[in-house]
C-alpha cells in the first residue's frame, strides 16, 4: 500500500479484502507490502499445495501429506514476514494480529495434515485454487492495468453520483487511478489512488477458491460464484468511494480523534481520516460482509461448508457439522459421513 508523502498529498485506498480470511487466502502474496523474497515464498507455497494435491489424486497419500504440511509451514512464514508492514506502514491493527496468528495456525494445520487428517486436503485445495485465480491477475501486466484503471473509473463515477468530480490522473504507481482533488481545496490536502488490492480480486479469489475446491453441479457453482463476485464488486465500489472521499475531506478529523491517533497510534495528523475510514471502519465491516456473503453462497452451494468445517476444526479443535446446521431446507442429507467422513463433498442436484 504505497502511501505517498504529504507533499504529494496521496495515500492508497486499499480495496475490499475479506481480512477475516487472511490466513486462508494468498490475496496479498504478491501485492503491495511484499518483498521479492516473501512474494516468492508465497508462490512456492501455492506450488507445493498443488503438487501435494496431485500426489493425493494419484493415490500417494503419505507423500502428499508431508508435502502439504511443508507448504502450510511456508505459507505461515510468509504471513509473518508481512507483520512489520502491517504494523508499520499500513498501521492496521487487525491485519497485524491476523498476520501474527497465521503462523501458529498454519503450523497446526500442517501438523494435523502430517499426522493423517486427510480431510484437510480440501482446505489445501481451496487455498491452492485461490492462488491460481489471483496469480494471473498479478503477473499479466495488461490484465492488472485494466483491472486497476477500470476500478478507478467506476469509483470516480460513484463519487460523481455524490457530487464530487476530481478527475483521474496518473498516480505514483504508474496507473491512471489517482483522484485529482486539489490539495488547496480539501481539508487534509491528501487524495487517494487505486491499487490492485482496491479491485476486490483478493476477496473474489477467496470465494472462487472455495467454490472450485468442492464437487457440485456446474450450474450451481457458476451461480454461486456470480453471486459472490457481484456482491463483492458492489461493496468494494462503495468502500472505495467512502475511503476516497473521507481521506481528502477529513470526515474523521475531529480534534479528540486526531489527538488520540497521533499520540497513541503514531499517525500523521493529516492521515487520521484515512486510517479511521480504512483501517477501522472498512476493515471491521469487511468481516461482517464476509459472513454475509458466505451465508448467501451457502444457500446455493452448501458443499463449501466442507472446507469451512476443516477451517473451524483448525481454529477450535472441535468437529462441526455445518451442513446440518446451515444447509437449506429440503437439501438431502450429506453422504460423506459427517465431519469425520472420508469423502470430501456431498453431491446434490436440483
| Alpha helices (H) in the chain, listed in sequence order | 36-57, 61-81, 83-87, 93-114, 121-139, 141-161, 201-213, 218-249, 255-264, 272-275, 283-300, 305-316, 322-326
Burial class (CB in 10 A: 0-12, 13-18, 19+), 253: middle
Q: Pick the catalytic residue: 65, 190, 239, 348?
A: 239
What are the C-alpha distances in Å from 123 to residues 29, 146, 244, 303? Answer: 18, 31, 35, 12
Q: How far is 106 from 112, CA to CA, in rounded Å?
A: 10
| Closest CA relative to residue 178, chosen from 205, 149, 158 | 149
Q: Is 106 a catalytic residue?
A: no
Q: Would you state the cell numbers that stand for residue 348, as one nine-digit string? A: 446434490
Helix (H) or strand (E) holding 186, with range, is none
How far apart CA 143 and CA 275 sit, in angstroms, is 29
Whether 198 is a known active-site residue: answer: yes
Of residues 190, 198, 306, 334, which has the active-site annotation? 198
Residue 19's φ and ψ, nearest 5 degrees, are -65, -15
Provide the pairing of β-strand 168-170 with 176-179.
Answer: antiparallel
List, as one string, the DSSP characters of 243-280. Answer: HHHHHHHTTT--HHHHHHHHHHS---GGGHHHHIIIII
Residue 325 cell numbers, joined: 446446521
Q: CA-CA distance, 215 to 268, in Å (whole number)?
A: 49
| Beta strand pairing call for 10-13 and 191-194 | parallel
Instruction: State how far the Cα of 213 lies from the Cα of 263, in Å rounded to an integer.
Output: 46
Cα 297 to chain centroid distance, Å, stands at: 16
Enumerate the active-site residues.
198, 239
Amino acid at each position: 500500500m504505497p502511501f505517498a508523502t504529504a507533499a504529494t498529498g496521496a495515500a492508497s485506498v486499499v480495496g475490499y479484502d475479506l481480512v477475516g480470511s487472511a490466513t486462508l487466502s494468498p490475496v496479498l502474496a504478491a501485492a503491495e507490502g511484499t518483498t521479492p523474497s516473501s512474494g516468492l515464498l508465497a508462490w512456492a507455497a501455492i506450488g507445493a499445495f498443488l503438487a501435494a494435491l496431485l500426489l493425493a489424486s494419484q493415490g500417494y497419500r503419505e507423500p502428499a501429506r508431508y508435502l502439504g504440511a511443508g507448504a502450510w509451514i511456508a505459507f505461515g512464514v510468509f504471513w509473518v514476514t508481512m507483520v512489520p508492514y502491517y504494523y508499520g506502514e499500513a498501521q492496521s491493527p487487525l491485519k497485524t494480529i491476523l498476520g501474527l496468528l497465521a503462523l501458529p495456525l498454519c503450523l497446526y494445520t500442517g501438523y494435523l495434515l502430517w499426522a493423517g487428517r486427510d480431510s484437510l486436503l480440501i482446505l489445501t485445495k481451496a487455498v491452492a485454487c485461490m492462488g491460481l485465480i489471483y496469480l494471473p491477475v498479478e503477473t499479466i501486466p495488461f490484465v492488472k492495468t485494466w483491472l486497476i484503471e477500470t476500478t478507478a473509473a467506476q469509483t470516480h463515477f460513484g463519487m460523481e453520483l455524490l457530487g464530487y468530480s476530481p478527475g483521474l490522473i496518473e498516480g505514483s504507481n504508474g496507473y491512471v487511478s489517482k483522484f485529482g482533488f486539489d490539495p488547496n481545496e480539501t481539508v487534509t490536502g491528501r487524495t487517494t489512488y487505486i491499487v490492485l488490492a482496491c479491485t476486490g480480486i483478493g476477496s473474489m479469489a477467496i470465494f472462487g477458491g472455495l467454490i472450485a475446491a468442492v464437487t457440485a453441479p456446474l450450474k450451481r457453482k457458476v451461480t454461486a460464484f456470480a453471486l459472490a463476485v457481484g456482491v463483492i464488486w458492489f461493496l468494494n465500489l462503495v468502500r472505495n468511494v467512502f475511503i476516497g472521499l473521507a481521506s481528502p475531506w477529513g470526515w474523521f478529523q475531529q480534534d479528540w480523534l486526531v489527538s488520540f491517533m497521533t499520540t497513541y497510534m503514531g499517525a500523521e495528523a493529516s492521515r487520521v481520516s484515512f486510517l479511521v475510514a480504512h483501517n477501522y471502519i472498512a476493515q471491521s465491516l469487511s468481516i461482517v460482509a464476509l459472513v454475509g456473503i458466505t451465508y448467501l453462497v451457502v444457500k446455493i452451494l452448501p458443499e463449501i461448508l466442507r472446507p469451512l468445517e476443516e477451517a473451524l476444526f483448525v481454529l477450535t479443535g472441535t468437529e462441526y457439522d455445518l451442513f446440518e446446521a446451515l444447509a437449506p431446507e429440503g437439501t438431502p442429507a450429506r453422504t460423506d459421513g459427517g465431519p469425520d467422513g472420508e469423502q470430501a463433498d456431498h453431491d446434490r442436484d436440483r
